[in-house]
Structure 1
Amino acid sequence: MMSSISVPQPKTFGPLGNLPQLNFDEPVQSLVKIAEEYGPIFRMDYPGRSELYISGHKLVAEVTDESKFDKRVWAPLAKVRAFAGDGLFTSWTEEPNWKKAHNVLLPSFSQRAMQGYHNKMIDLAVQLVQKWSRLNPDETVNVPDDMTRLTLDTIGLCGFNYRFNSFYREEPHPFITSMVRALDESMSSLQRLRLQDKLMITKKKQFEQDIRSMFSLVDHIIAERKEQPQEGADDLLSHMLSGKDPETGETLDDENIRYQIITFLIAGHETTSGLLSFAIYYLMKNPDKLAKAQAEADQILKDPVPTYNQVRNLKYVRMVLNEALRLWPTAPAFSLYAKEDTVLDGQYPLQKGDSVSVLIPKLHRDVEAWGEDVEEFRPERFEDPSKVPHDAYKPFGNGQRACIGQQFALQEATLVLGMVLKHFELIDHADYQLKVKETLTLKPDNFTIRVRARGGQPVMAVPGVVMEETTTQAKKKEPDAVNAHHTPMLVLYGSNLGTAEGIAREIADNARYQGFRSEVAALDDRVGKLPKEGVVVIISASYNGQPPSNAKAFIDWIEHADAGEFQGVKFTVLGCGDHNWASTYQRIPRLIDEQLSSKGAERVSPIGESDASGDFEKQVGDWTEQLWPDLARTMGLKLNISSNSERSSLSVQFVSGLAVTPLAETYDAHVAQVLENRELHDAGSERSTRHLEIKLPEGITYEEGDHLGILPQNPPELVELVLQRYGFTGTEHLVLDASGRSAAHLPLHQPVNLYDLLSHSVELQEAATRAQLRELAAYTVCPPHKKELEALLDESVYMTEVRNKRISMLDYLLKYEACELPFERFLELLPSLKARYYSISSSPRVQPEQASITVSVVRAPAWSGQGEYKGIASNYLANLQPGEEVVMFVRTPESGFRLPERAEVPVIMVGPGTGVAPFRGFLQARHVMKQQGQQVGEGHLYFGCRNPAHDYLYKNELEKAEQEQLVQLHTAFSRVDGQEKCYVQHLMRDDAHQLIPLLEQGGHLYICGDGSKMAPDVEDTLKKAYAEVGGHTAAEADAWLDRLQQEGRYAKDVWTGI
Structure 2
Amino acid sequence: MPVTESHPQPGPAPDTAIPGPAGLPVLGSMLDLRRDSLSTFLTAQREYGDVVRLEAGPPGLRSVFHAVFAPEGVQQILASQAANFRKDHPLYEEVRQAFGNGLLTSQDADYLRQRRLVQPLFTKRRVDSYASAVTAEADTLVDRWRTTDGGTVDLVTEMNRLALRTVTRILFGLDAEQAVDAIHRCAPVINAYVVRRAYVPVKVPREWPTPGNLRARAATDELNALCDRIIADRRAAAGTTGDDEAGEGDDLLSLLAAAGNEQDGSLDATEVREQVLIFLLAGHETTATSLAFTLHLLARHPEEQARVREEIDRVLADRTPTAADLDRLPYLTQALKESMRLYPAAPVVSRRAVEATEIGGFRIPAGADVVVAPWVTHRNPHLWEDPERFDPRRFAPEREAERHRYAWFPFGGGPRACIGQHFSMLESVLALAMLLRSYELQAVDEEVPVAAGITLQATGPARVRLRRRERVGE
Flag whether TM exceeds 0.5 (same fold). Answer: yes
1:671-722 deviation digits (Å, cap 9, x = unpaired): xxxxxxxxxxxxxxxxxxxxxxxxxxxxxxxxxxxxxxxxxxxxxxxxxxxx
1:126 offset after TM fit, Å? Answer: 0.9
Shift of 1:433: 2.1
Aligned-pair distance for 1:97?
A: 2.7
User: What TM-score results when the alignment is normalised by the length of structure 1?
Assistant: 0.40
Q: 2:344–2:456: 8 Å Cα contact kept in structure 1?
A: yes
Q: TM-score, normalised by structure 2?
A: 0.87
Q: Give the superposition deviation at 1:387.
A: 2.4
* Aligned position for 1:300: 315
| 2:66 paired with 1:44 | no
The equivalences for 1:834-853 within 5 A come to none
- Per the alignment, residue 391 of structure 2 pairs with 378
> CA offset at residue 74 of structure 1?
2.2
Measure, in 1, the Cα distance between the counterparts of 2:370 and 2:272: 30
Equivalent residues of 2:64, 2:368 under 8 A apart: no
Alignment gaps of 5+ in structure 2: 1-13, 241-245
Contact between 1:156 and 1:162, CA under 8 Å: does it hold in 2?
A: no
CA 1:373–1:200 in structure 2 vs 1: closer, same or farther (change >3 Å)?
A: farther
- Over residues 76-119 of structure 1, what are the superposed CA-to-partner deviations in whole Å (9 max), with x where a residue is unaligned? 22211122221111222x1x331112111112222101221111
C-alpha contact (below 8 Å) 1:219/1:258 kept by paired residues? yes
**1:321-360 alignment to 2 at 5 Å?**
321-346=336-361, 348-360=362-374
The count of residues paired between Structure 1 and Structure 2 equals: 445
- How far apart are the structure 2 equivalents of 1:374 and 1:33? 14
Give, in whole Å, the separation in 2 of the partners of 1:446 and 1:341: 43
Contact 1:396 1:406 in 2 (8 A): yes
TM-superposed CA distance for 1:344, in Å, is 1.5
Q: CA deviation at 1:32?
A: 2.2
Match for residue 425 of structure 1 among 440, 445, 449: 440
Secondary structure of 1:349's aligned partner: strand
Q: Deviations over 1:251-305 (max 9, x none)?
A: 1121111111000000100000000111111112222211110100010112332
Shift, 1:160, TM fit: 2.7
Larger Rg: 1
Q: Does 1:160 align with 2:172?
A: yes
Deviations 1:349-402 (A, max 9, x none): 1334433210111111222322x3211111111112422431211100111101
Residue pair 2:172, 2:253 contacting (<8 A) in 1 also: yes
Moved more, 415-424 or 83-92: 83-92
Q: Is the 8 A contact 1:283 1:289 kept in 2?
A: yes
Q: SS at 2:80's partner residue?
A: coil
Q: Does 1:34 align with 2:44?
A: yes
- Partners of 1:458 and 1:72 in 2: CA distance: 53
The amino acid of 2:120's aligned partner reads P
Please name the residue that 2:190 is paired with.
182
1:58 to 72, 94, 97: 72
SS at match of 2:264: coil
1:377-432 Cα shifts (integer Å, max 9, x gaps): 1111111242243121110011110111010001000001111111111122x343
2:454 aligned partner = 440
Query: Given that residues 185 and 207 in structure 1 are in contact (C-alpha distance below 8 angstroms), is that contact kept between their aligned partners in structure 2?
Result: yes
Distance 1:431 1:356 in 2: 35
- Confirm whether residue 101 of structure 1 aligns to residue 117 of structure 2: no
Q: How does 1:542-941 map to 2 (within 5 A)?
A: none
Taking the TM superposition and a 5 Å limit, the aligned residue runs for 1:229-628 are 229-231=238-240, 232=246, 234-245=250-261, 248-346=263-361, 348-370=362-384, 372-384=385-397, 385-428=400-443, 430-444=444-458, 445-457=460-472
Residue type at the aligned position of 2:124: Q
Higher relative contact order (CA 8 A, sep 6+): 2
- Alignment RMSD: 2.5
Q: Which residue identity lines up with residue 228 of structure 1 in the other structure?
A: A
Aligned residue runs from structure 1 range 137-148, under 5 A: 137=150, 139-148=151-160
1:785-819 deviations in whole A, cap 9, x for unaligned? xxxxxxxxxxxxxxxxxxxxxxxxxxxxxxxxxxx
- Aligned partners of 2:261 and 2:377: how far apart in 1? 35
* Greater share of helix: 2
- Deviation track 1:452-498 (CA, whole Å, cap 9, x = no partner) reads 11101479xxxxxxxxxxxxxxxxxxxxxxxxxxxxxxxxxxxxxxx
User: Once the two structures are aligned, what percentage of the paired residues are identical?
Assistant: 27
Partner residue in 2 for 1:206: 215
Cα distance in 2, alignment partners of residues 253 and 14 from structure 1: 51
Kept after mapping to 2: 8 A contact 1:100/1:245: no
Q: Indicate how the Cα distance of structure 1 residues 55 and 184 shifts in structure 2: closer, same or farther if over 3 A, else same.
A: same
Give the AA of the match of 2:182. Answer: P
SS in 1 for 2:189: helix
Corresponding residue for 2:8?
Answer: none
- In the alignment, the residues of structure 2 paired with residue 312 and residue 227 of structure 1 have an alpha-carbon distance, to the nearest angstrom, of 40
SS at match of 2:265: coil
Measured after TM superposition, the shift of residue 438 of structure 1 is 3.7
Q: Greater share of strand residues, 1 or 2?
A: 1
| Pair 1:122-2:135 in alignment | yes
Question: Equivalent residue for 2:5?
Answer: none
Aligned to 1:938: none
Q: Give 2:27's match in structure 1, choosing from 10, 16, 20.
A: 16
Q: SS state of the match for residue 177, structure 1?
A: helix
The residue number in structure 1 matching 2:243 is: none
1:121-169 per-position Cα deviation (integer Å, ceiling 9, x unaligned): 11111111111123242x3211111111111111111123154439xx9
Amino acid at match of 1:175: I
3-state SS, counterpart of residue 309 of structure 1: helix
